[in-house]
A and B are shown apart, each in its own frame.
Chain A
Amino acid sequence: MQFTVNGVPREVDVEGDMPLLWVLRDELGITSVKYGCGIAQCGACTVHVDGIAMRSCQLPADSLEGAQITTLEGLAEGETLHAVQEAWIAHQVAQCGYCQAGQMMQAADLLAAVPEPTDADIDDFMGGNLCRCGTYPRIRAAIHDAAARLREG
């Protein structure tokens, strides 16, 4: 099947039910996309499919024909990081960092839909992204900061 990953057309020969997570990690070597639970409970595997944040562990390969897939590697525009990444660095959010690619992909989608999210919006939208290290206070602050950076352009 064929789809686009970070703007690059890719073709893979895999079982139709292989989740996108493993297509990306084991077939294409894109490792920012993390395996955490495999059952849509942690959000570590979050990517954008046609611009929407989705759990790649739940997306069978055969549902992706022609899809535009973006991983954290593709969120930046060339050398310029996405505002979410800049805010994540400024707030030093990561501890182990294992959840953070998924957190940032989810947060980027939140900000695309809600430019000025309230704490309640953040709770709603980020609730599926588990951080076992407990970086939630910093994630919250970084999302507000990223929103401000995006508004200021």
Chain B
Amino acid sequence: MSRVGTIARRSFLIGSAVLAGGVAFGVYTVRRPHENPLEAGLAEGEVTFNPWVLVGPERITLITPHADVGQGVAHMQAMLLAEEMRLEPGQFDISFGDPSPAYWNRAMGEEGAPFLSSDQGFAARTTRTAMGAVMKVLGMQVTGGSTSTPDSFDKLRQAGAIARETLRRAGEIRTSIPSDQLRCEAGAVVLPDGTRIPYTELSAQAATIDPVEDAPLTPRAEWRLIGQETERLDIVAKSTGQQAYGIDVSVPGMVHAAVRVNPRRGVLTGYDASAARSMRGVSDVVEVTNGVAVVADNSWRAFQAVNAVDCDWGPAPYPAEQADHWAEVAASFTEDRLDREWRAEGDVEAALSGDVIEAEYRAPYVAHQPLEPLNAIVRVTEAGAEVWTGHQMPRFLQQQVAAITGHEADQVTLHNQFSGGSFGHRLEFEHVRLATEIAVQMPGVPVKLTFQREEDFAQDFPRQIGMARGRGAVAGGRVEASDIQIAAVSSSRSQMGRIGQNVPGADSQIPAGVWNVPYAIPSYRVRAYAVPELAPTSSWRSVGASSSGFFGESFLDELVHAAGADPLAERLRLAIDPRAVAVLEAVAEMSGWGREPAENRGLGVAMVESFGVPVAEVIEVEATAQGIRIHDVWVAAEVGTVVDPVAFENQVQGGVVWGLGHAINCEITYADGMAEQSNFDWHDGMRIWQAPRIAVRGVELGGSVRGIGEPPVPPAAPALANAIFAATGQRLREMPFNKFVDFV
């Protein structure tokens, strides 16, 4: 790769992509399309028009390259293609496809540009374009940052339309009937007399012509699938036990492995595996980086045996005790750790010269822990490596595996799998690396590594730890000034560092949800401080906004109350972005805001924008004798266009449950260098008895189409804290809240 490419690759960052200065590509490099990966494997009679559509005499396959970790993007991608191709569900198969630069993510560069989503100025547009170019030239195939829908929306509709028009043209050649007299409908070209020629029968013909690039998109009024309630393609399989996940895959000749890796993330100083070696079914004990692995004929036997290995662990490369982590964060509000001053409007110093309202907030480490434990199958041969796992960064995975096996990245085959959740967990590589390290020691044998839940907790890279200090002033019933300082470790730098990537410039995730608030507070300052790496961290559903959104919207609520204003009315007064106004008005209406709540009840509101999506939530709680009960949540989000209403509602409800559950009862704390929480008994999130009713409204103002996987998370915690304050008068400034109040 050229030097420019190298710079750009090292400068790439998920979630808060920032360009290193002066990266530029020649126009040709940027315009040149990537090769269609489907060309290479075409069988007799098959045709492909672009990287997403494969039509053969027997079947139609749609490639849905964004990883499905439960958010429903396989279905979403297929619906976009099927809409334009005039296919009905059931008329096609879907496949995640092979990793390819052709599947570069067009939205992620844009989303990562450090400009307000409403900013359409020159610098913002130029940077977004440049970042898109980086993504394209480097072929960044990534699922994350709530970008699957914005990345796919235009691209896959165009791909589907090109396929449709090319098939129509093939029908014209076949029948000699002009194509404007041919209809495409339900997987067939239909002749004026009603005769149907299925696409599958036209594939050979279509293979002889160039794709018809001039293919109009279907107008919104004619959408059959997009924006409609459709049945998820995987819903029957997932309701009948037929859906296979990575953990269910079986490869002939496969052995089962389990690992224990230093829970302090230090080195393995010694071990005694004699007991393990003699246990039933155990065939081998091998070393892996910082740990040991047992290979056996069954997962449980591997678990039992690896737990019987006596290991000596070296010390942690970070403070051993949790109190020291907090002390380091608290000591980071200093000039030399200032990452960036993100906002400086009005005259904050002057505005804060009188009576000042002050508060300090904390957000702990939190684990990802999707319900499917991490797992991967790897087989290494001389010719290459084969991997079966669910992963969101397929091409990085190829590099990571190749670096261990000594192959080239393109000699690594990934069979991407449906995943039992991710929440950021499947952006990491440790389990794949470990499986590969075992597999290189037994060439030709497929090795299935399954993490025990306890190992998954121990090796999880949690959400960033952070603190905020707010100072503010009010006058005449209004919020006049707010000065927020946020200190947190950079999960982006930690995560990217593990795959050898730098994060140049400031990390916009540290103050995410605060630096970009769509409010006009007369004097407003936001400063972010980068705490040096403590325990390694990673992207956790909604990343920086999951903690900073809590800081910003809690502090704003304190100021609003100090001003004696109404929390929702004052937010509406301050809101400058029509999208923010729309979601606030929606939740006001949905919740009947302004009514007198029943005794011991209170309503709280919060609005946070993340990943370009403003989301407002109102929560109603009741202080009961058994503790706080969360009755209702009303949510409104503005995503431009709701592409899949079922997934939209499900993602919003799930995001609220995720945000609330972790705010209530989850944290990872370190003692003796190890995470103290090792299973769901001490880190369970929300359970059904705590789950409120959740009413959801998608507000569609018709602008850019955005994703909804993460944005519902950040407002949940502050809306809950604000509601508890309204009901009880008690301010919660630290998560998890169950350290301070009881919940039913």
Interaction A to B: yes
When each residue 76-90 of chain A gets 1 if its CB lies under 8 Å from chain B and 0 otherwise, what string results? Answer: 100001000100110
Query: Within the complex, what minimum Cβ distance (angstroms) separates A134 from chain B?
Result: 3
Q: Report chain B residues within 8 Å CB of A29.
A: 250
A36 at the interface (CB under 8 A from B): yes
Complex-state Cα separation, A26 to B244, whole angstroms: 14
Q: Report chain A residues within 8 Å CB of B256.
A: 26
A147 at the interface (CB under 8 A from B): no
- Determine if B681 and A27 form an interchain contact, defined as CB atoms under 8 angstroms apart: no
Query: Within the complex, what minimum Cβ distance (angstroms) separates B55 from chain A?
Result: 29
Q: Which residue of A lies closest to B419 (CB)?
A: A96
A117 at the interface (CB under 8 A from B): no
Q: Which residue of B lies closest to A125 (CB)?
A: B688
A2 at the interface (CB under 8 A from B): no
When each residue 7-23 of chain A gets 1 if its CB lies under 8 Å from chain B and 0 otherwise, what string results? Answer: 00000000100110110
- Determine if B650 and A138 form an interchain contact, defined as CB atoms under 8 angstroms apart: yes
Give the interface centre of B231, B256, B650 by most chain A CB atoms within 10 Å: B650
Q: Report chain A residues within 8 Å CB of B298.
A: 18, 22, 26-27
- Determine if B681 and A95 form an interchain contact, defined as CB atoms under 8 angstroms apart: no
- Given A133-B70, A138-B653: A98 touches B420 (CB 8 Å cut-off): yes
When each residue 363-378 of chain B gets 1 if its CB lies under 8 Å from chain A and 0 otherwise, what string results? Answer: 0000001111100000
- Determine if A31 and B248 form an interchain contact, defined as CB atoms under 8 angstroms apart: yes
Chain A, 93-114, CB within 8 A of any chain B CB: 93-101, 104
- Determine if B371 and A127 form an interchain contact, defined as CB atoms under 8 angstroms apart: no
Query: Within the complex, what minimum Cβ distance (angstroms) separates A38 from chain B?
Result: 6
Chain A, 16-66, CB within 8 A of any chain B CB: 18-19, 21-22, 25-27, 29, 31-32, 34-39, 41-42, 44
Q: Which residue of A lies closest to B70 (CB)?
A: A96
When each residue 672-706 of chain B gets 1 if its CB lies under 8 Å from chain A and 0 otherwise, what string results? Answer: 00000001110011111101011000000000000
Give the interface centre of A29, A72, A130 by most chain B CB atoms within 10 Å: A130
Q: Which residue of B lies closest to A129 (CB)?
A: B688
When each residue 216-256 of chain B gets 1 if its CB lies under 8 Å from chain A and 0 otherwise, what string results? Answer: 00000000000000011011111111111101101000001
Spot the interface stretch: B331-339, B497-505, B601-609, B655-663: B655-663
Q: Report chain B residues within 8 Å CB of A5.
A: none
Query: Within the complex, what minimum Cβ distance (angstroms) separates A99 from chain B?
Result: 5
- Given A22-B300, A37-B679, A134-B657: A72 touches B240 (CB 8 Å cut-off): yes
Complex-state Cα separation, A37 to B454, whole angstroms: 8
Q: Report chain A residues within 8 Å CB of B685.
A: 130, 132
B319 at the interface (CB under 8 A from A): no
A73 at the interface (CB under 8 A from B): yes
A153 at the interface (CB under 8 A from B): no
- Determine if B239 and A132 form an interchain contact, defined as CB atoms under 8 angstroms apart: no
B405 at the interface (CB under 8 A from A): no
Query: Within the complex, what minimum Cβ distance (angstroms) separates A87 from chain B?
Result: 9
A122 at the interface (CB under 8 A from B): yes
- Determine if B373 and A92 form an interchain contact, defined as CB atoms under 8 angstroms apart: no
Chain A, 116-153, CB within 8 A of any chain B CB: 122-124, 126-127, 129-140
Which one of A73, A89, A133 lies within 8 Å of B421 (CB-CB)?
Answer: A133
Complex-state Cα separation, A16 to B423, whole angstroms: 37
Complex-state Cα separation, A62 to B232, whole angstroms: 41
Query: Within the complex, what minimum Cβ distance (angstroms) separates B124 from chain A?
Result: 34
Q: Which residue of B lies closest to A18 (CB)?
A: B300
When each residue 416-438 of chain B gets 1 if its CB lies under 8 Å from chain A and 0 otherwise, what string results? Answer: 00111101000000000000000
- Determine if A134 and B371 form an interchain contact, defined as CB atoms under 8 angstroms apart: no
- Determine if A101 and B241 form an interchain contact, defined as CB atoms under 8 angstroms apart: yes
- Determine if B240 and A85 form an interchain contact, defined as CB atoms under 8 angstroms apart: yes
- Determine if B654 and A98 form an interchain contact, defined as CB atoms under 8 angstroms apart: no
- Determine if A139 and B299 form an interchain contact, defined as CB atoms under 8 angstroms apart: no
B interface residue count range (under 10 / 10 to 19 / 20 to 34 / 35 or more) = 35 or more
Query: Within the complex, what minimum Cβ distance (angstroms) separates A138 from chain B?
Result: 7
- Determine if A31 and B244 form an interchain contact, defined as CB atoms under 8 angstroms apart: yes
- Determine if A99 and B371 form an interchain contact, defined as CB atoms under 8 angstroms apart: yes
Q: Which residue of B lies closest to A103 (CB)?
A: B688
Q: Report chain B residues within 8 Å CB of A39.
A: 453, 679-681
Q: Report chain B residues within 8 Å CB of A129.
A: 688
Q: Report chain A residues within 8 Å CB of B453.
A: 35-39
- Determine if A92 and B232 form an interchain contact, defined as CB atoms under 8 angstroms apart: yes
- Given A137-B693, A138-B653: A44 touches B239 (CB 8 Å cut-off): no
Query: Within the complex, what minimum Cβ distance (angstroms) separates B427 from chain A?
Result: 15
- Given A36-B371, A122-B688, A130-B680: A98 touches B421 (CB 8 Å cut-off): yes
- Determine if A136 and B691 form an interchain contact, defined as CB atoms under 8 angstroms apart: yes
- Determine if A92 and B70 form an interchain contact, defined as CB atoms under 8 angstroms apart: no
- Determine if B688 and A126 form an interchain contact, defined as CB atoms under 8 angstroms apart: yes
Which one of A42, A93, A123, A136 lies within 8 Å of B686 (CB-CB)?
Answer: A136
- Determine if B241 and A73 form an interchain contact, defined as CB atoms under 8 angstroms apart: yes
Q: Report chain B residues within 8 Å CB of A132.
A: 369-371, 421, 423, 658, 685
- Determine if A89 and B452 form an interchain contact, defined as CB atoms under 8 angstroms apart: no
Query: Within the complex, what minimum Cβ distance (angstroms) separates A10 from chain B?
Result: 16
Q: Report chain B residues within 8 Å CB of A136.
A: 653, 657, 686-688, 691
- Determine if B657 and A89 form an interchain contact, defined as CB atoms under 8 angstroms apart: no
Q: Report chain A residues within 8 Å CB of B654.
A: 95, 133-135
- Given A36-B373, A98-B420, A135-B654: A92 touches B250 (CB 8 Å cut-off): no
- Determine if A22 and B241 form an interchain contact, defined as CB atoms under 8 angstroms apart: no
- Given A37-B453, A41-B681, A104-B239: A134 touches B232 (CB 8 Å cut-off): no
- Given A126-B688, A132-B685, A134-B686: A94 touches B653 (CB 8 Å cut-off): no
Complex-state Cα separation, A150 to B303, whole angstroms: 41
- Determine if B236 and A89 form an interchain contact, defined as CB atoms under 8 angstroms apart: yes
- Determine if B371 and A22 form an interchain contact, defined as CB atoms under 8 angstroms apart: no
Q: Report chain A residues within 8 Å CB of B370.
A: 96, 98, 132
Give the interface centre of A97, A101, A104 by most chain B CB atoms within 10 Å: A97
- Determine if B241 and A140 form an interchain contact, defined as CB atoms under 8 angstroms apart: no
- Determine if B72 and A95 form an interchain contact, defined as CB atoms under 8 angstroms apart: yes
- Determine if B680 and A97 form an interchain contact, defined as CB atoms under 8 angstroms apart: no
- Determine if A134 and B372 form an interchain contact, defined as CB atoms under 8 angstroms apart: no
Q: Report chain A residues within 8 Å CB of B241.
A: 31-32, 71-73, 101
- Determine if B299 and A26 form an interchain contact, defined as CB atoms under 8 angstroms apart: yes
- Given A37-B679, A95-B71: A88 touches B371 (CB 8 Å cut-off): no
Query: Within the complex, what minimum Cβ distance (angstroms) separates B306 from chain A?
Result: 13
- Determine if B688 and A15 form an interchain contact, defined as CB atoms under 8 angstroms apart: no
Q: Report chain B residues within 8 Å CB of A81.
A: 239-240
Q: Report chain A residues within 8 Å CB of B687.
A: 127, 130, 136
Q: Report chain A residues within 8 Å CB of B190.
A: none
Query: Within the complex, what minimum Cβ distance (angstroms) separates B320 from chain A?
Result: 26
When each residue 243-283 of chain B gets 1 if its CB lies under 8 Å from chain A and 0 otherwise, what string results? Answer: 11101101000001000000000000000000000001000
Give the interface centre of B241, B373, B452, B681 by most chain A CB atoms within 10 Å: B241
B69 at the interface (CB under 8 A from A): yes
Q: Which residue of A lies closest to B299 (CB)?
A: A26
Which one of B238, B450, B661, B691 lies within 8 Å of A137 (CB-CB)?
Answer: B691
Complex-state Cα separation, A95 to B654, whole angstroms: 9
B646 at the interface (CB under 8 A from A): yes
- Determine if B657 and A22 form an interchain contact, defined as CB atoms under 8 angstroms apart: no
Query: Within the complex, what minimum Cβ distance (angstroms) separates A39 from chain B?
Result: 6
Complex-state Cα separation, A25 to B655, whole angstroms: 31
17 residue pairs A–B, Cβ–Cβ below 8 Å: A26-B298, A35-B450, A36-B453, A36-B680, A85-B239, A92-B646, A94-B235, A97-B237, A98-B245, A98-B371, A99-B371, A130-B687, A132-B369, A134-B691, A136-B653, A136-B687, A137-B691
The 4 A-B residue pairs with the shortest CB-CB distance in the complex, in nearest-first order: A96-B70, A32-B241, A134-B657, A98-B420
12 further contact pairs, Cβ within 8 A, besides A93-B239, A136-B688: A25-B299, A29-B250, A31-B248, A35-B373, A35-B450, A95-B71, A98-B70, A98-B420, A127-B688, A134-B661, A135-B650, A137-B694
